[in-house]
């Protein structure tokens, strides 16, 4: 996830980005849906179209805050 965010962080236009299949392979359908919903709450519209997702730069600060919060909970 961190690598994906780093690659997308410099994107200033909306676009589509791929996720590596192994990144999500350990998630069950329920966990994947929950993950997408959490990201969606940050303002990023997540559209699953195969292994590609839609990226929009506007919600980046909220998405970074979500990532930081979840990282702290993991400690």
Query: Into how many domains does the chain fold?
Result: 1
Q: For residues 6-23, give the mean pLDDT.
A: 69
User: Which range of residues forms the domain containing residue 29?
Assistant: 2-74
60 pLDDT tier (thresholds 50, 70, 90): confident
Rounded to the nearest 5°, which phi and psi values hold at 62?
-70, -35
- Residue-level length of the chain: 75
Average pLDDT, the chain: 74
């Amino acid at each position: 996830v961190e690598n994906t965010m780093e690659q997308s962080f410099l994107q200033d236009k909306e676009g589509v980005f791929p996720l590596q299949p192994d990144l999500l392979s350990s998630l069950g359908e329920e966990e994947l849906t929950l993950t997408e919903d959490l990201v969606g709450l940050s303002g990023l519209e997540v559209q699953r179209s195969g292994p590609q997702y839609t990226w929009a730069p506007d919600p980046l600060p909220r998405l970074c805050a979500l990532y930081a919060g979840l990282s702290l909970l993991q400690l």
